[in-house]
C-alpha cells in the first residue's frame, strides 16, 4: 500500500494528535478513527438531524442565561 501526504489545519492536526495512542502513528490513528464510519453512516446520521431543533426552546430559554451573581452577556 502506498502513502500520500495531505494538508490539514493545525487545529485538525492537534485533534488527531490528541487521539493518538502510545506507539501509534498519525496514519494509524486516522485509520482507527474512521475505519468503522462510512459516508453512508454519515448520511444516515445527517438524515436524523432536525433542522428546526432549537436548544433555547428545548431548555425553556435557559441557554445564554447568566449564572447567579453574573451579568448576562449580550
For 33-63, write each residue's pLDDT tens digit. 888 778 788 888 888 888 887 777 777 766 6
In the numeric block, which cell numbers belong to residue 25? 502513528
In this predicted structure, what is the pLDDT of residue 19?
92
Closest CA to 29 of 43, 45, 13: 13
User: With left for phi above 0 and alpha for psi between -120 and 50, is residue 23 left, alpha or beta?
Assistant: left
Model-wide pTM > 0.85? no
What does the pLDDT look like over 2-37, one tens digit per residue? 888 888 889 889 999 999 999 999 999 988 888 877
Amino acid at each position: 500500500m502506498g502513502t500520500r501526504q495531505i494538508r490539514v489545519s493545525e487545529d485538525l492536526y492537534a485533534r488527531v494528535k490528541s487521539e493518538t495512542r502510545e506507539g501509534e502513528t498519525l496514519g494509524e490513528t486516522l485509520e482507527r478513527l474512521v475505519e468503522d464510519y462510512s459516508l453512508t453512516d454519515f448520511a444516515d446520521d445527517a438524515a436524523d438531524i432536525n433542522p428546526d431543533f432549537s436548544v433555547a426552546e428545548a431548555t425553556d430559554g435557559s441557554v445564554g442565561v447568566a449564572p447567579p451573581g453574573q451579568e448576562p452577556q449580550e
